[in-house]
Homo-oligomer: A and B are copies of this chain.
Amino acid sequence: MTDDQLSRVFAALADPTRRSIVTRLAVGDATVNELAAPYDVSVQAVSKHLKVLEDAGVVGRSRDGQRRPCHLKAEVFDLMTKWIERYRQQAEERYQRLDAVLEQMNAAEPDHQRREGQAS
């Protein structure tokens, strides 16, 4: 699983702890230890989470001495937004089309029984 980047990004953000880390990073860059402090999980666990986020391209990491500060990366959010926006629009269009069809049906044949999910 998680074959392409989109899969990795969605999977990465499916975890509440990781989304929480993203929220924290939106405030400002932070190291692994700083990020681990609020959560009552081990530093190693947070390190794993960061690896997942990094592999997904959600965060990047720098080297500052022995620290590895993390920062959000914007590009991957664009990728997701594009994917989502595409289907959001189509879903909305389909709703509108379905409504229009049903209205037409009702107007043309008021006694015609409505059947859902047939608007292909």
CB distance B120 to A87 under 8 Å? Answer: no
Chain B residues, Cβ within 8 Å of A74? 88, 91-92, 95
Are B2 and A117 in contact (CB-based, < 8 A)?
A: no
* Contact digits for A30-71, partner B, Cβ 8 Å, 1 yes 0 no: 100000000000000000000000000000011110010111
Chain B residues within 8 Å of A13, by CB: 10
Residues on B with beta carbons closer than 8 Å to the beta carbon of A67: 117
Q: How far is B118's CA from A103's CA once the two chains are assembled, in angstroms?
A: 59
**Contact residues in B for A30 (Cβ distance below 8 Å):** 120
Chain A residues 72-97 with CB under 8 Å of chain B are: 72-74, 77-78, 80-81, 83-88, 90-92, 94-95
